[in-house]
Amino acid sequence: MTVSSYIKEWTDAPVKNVLAGMVGTFALIPEVIAFSYAAGVAPEVGLYASFVISIAIAITGGRPGMISGAAGSVALVAADLVHGHGFQYLLLATLLAGAIQVLFGLFKLQNMMRFVSREVATGFVNALAILIFSAQIPQMVHVSWQTYALIALGLAIVYLLPRITTLIPSPLICIVVLTGISIAYPMPVHVVSDLGPLPTGLPSFTLPHLPLTLETFKIVLPYAFAMAMVGVLESLMTAGVVDEMTDTHSNKRMECTGLGVSNILVGLFGGMAGCGMIGQTVGNLRYGGTGRLSTFTAGAFLLLLLVVLHNFVAQVPVAALVAIMIMVSISTFSWSSLRDLVRHPRLSSTVMIVTVVVVVLTHDLAAGVACGVILSGLFFSFQVMQLLQITSSLSTDGQTRTYHVRGQLFFASTTILTDAIDFQDAAPHVVLDLSAARLWDISAADALEKLVSRLQARSKTVHITHTDERAARLLNALGHETLLDDTQPA
């Protein structure tokens, strides 16, 4: 990245980015408070973490326009550590998770994201949209009729106001109008202060008060590694979604290292590890927040609200936030994927559905993506395996049977080759022509050696012709020097 392009990411459309970032702030507050409770920590831990991450990743991250904060997927991992060992262990785990993420970026391990198929990415987005909507349901159950009226009014403002003007994001107008109504006409509705106590001061520098012993690291490291992997996965998946929505490219390596640096700073200021938040990010993009300034504003405005406008934030009706998050969930869901279920191959649709189901049932985005990637790999192997073709021909004198192998030989397709060989054939000479085949792994080379041994045990002479250098290396790695001598072209 050049200096000029980096500066451009800060200076493009400043007004739009600032306003969009402010929308992202209000979308952060209820989610972060809920995730803090899920992790077993005070709301200020998640709110301070979101402030620090947003500021730091706006400077160090590789995906402009992406909102990061204390996310639910990381909170689920952190919960067990906090409940079992306490908050100080979470601080140390956050510092170690950040360091692991920095190493993840330095060693270019972000390239592993190439194994995430489109079906998995779609399932990830759809599952997240469902989770965002389901998270609003508790705020719509056993509430007064005024709450429903405010939600309906909020949705009307969010969706209808852009038809009149887009100068100011409609969610901001929604928050101001609904807060004004609830203050002017007091009514039995939940407000933000009901979600939990809000911090009123600045975060302070702190270090974990723990003995740095081997026993401590044995407890913390597994959680730190899990938090680091979940954070990287969710951030890179979110960055990929933003890339597609904006038709731009992000620096995934820079995003990994930037997230790591941000989480190290979070740990030093008493917060818990976080990552990219796709719901808030989609809302940010929807209102023009495509630059680094929007991410920075989301963090800076959050701190301003907590410290200077504390009393106003406390009186914001939860109904306004619910209306905004419903809009975010609707816009996040890939509605075209429902039509694609009947148009796309069944295996692809299955991968998408399984990803959604696993995420929704476990509330773990990493688990859903992992299942989707595994299924994609299995289905791909199955499809490639079926492409292997073996034909045979007999010489005019009936002495030589030649097997022509075409396709990919790897662990899943070796049985097809073995089943195609007629060990009872009367021809005393066998030729395996691999000119149109390719060996990919040790399993294929080992299966080839065993196949030759079985034929030789029946007093047949075997020649393997037209192998490439890769096949020769694999056979040599298994120590099959005798077979390797027979692999030269006949």
Q: For the chain, how long is the longest CA-to-CA vector?
A: 102
Q: What pLDDT shows up at residue 132?
A: 77
What pLDDT is recorded for position 257?
95
pLDDT at 486 (0 to 100): 44
Q: Report, as ranges of residue numbers, the positions in the chain whose pLDDT lies below 50.
A: 485-490
d(CA 287, CA 22): 10
Q: Where are the beta strands (DSSP E) in 120-216?
A: none
Q: Which long-range contacts (CB under 8 A, 24 or more apart) does 5-14 make?
A: 9/64, 9/291, 9/292, 10/291, 10/292, 10/293, 11/291, 11/293, 12/290, 12/291, 13/288, 13/290, 13/291, 14/291, 14/293
Task: Write out pLDDT tens, residues 69-110.
Answer: 988 678 777 888 888 899 999 999 999 999 999 999 999 887
Q: Cα separation of 278 and 123, whole Å?
A: 13
Per the rule left: phi > 0, alpha: psi between -120 and 50, beta: everything else, 375 is alpha
- Any idea which residue has 């779609």 for tokens? 122
* CA pseudo-torsion sign 9, 13, 18, 24: negative
Tokens of 398: 């009936």
pLDDT of residue 487: 42
Residues spanned by CATH 3.30.750.24 within the chain?
388-483
Q: Which two tokens stand for residue 40?
A: 């077993």
Cβ atoms < 10 Å from Cβ of 399: 11
pLDDT at 75: 79
In tens, the pLDDT along 115-170 reads 888 888 888 888 878 887 887 888 898 889 999 999 999 999 989 988 888 777 78
Looking at domain 388-483, its CATH architecture is 2-Layer Sandwich (3.30)
pLDDT at 488: 44
What per-residue confidence (pLDDT) applies to 466? Answer: 73
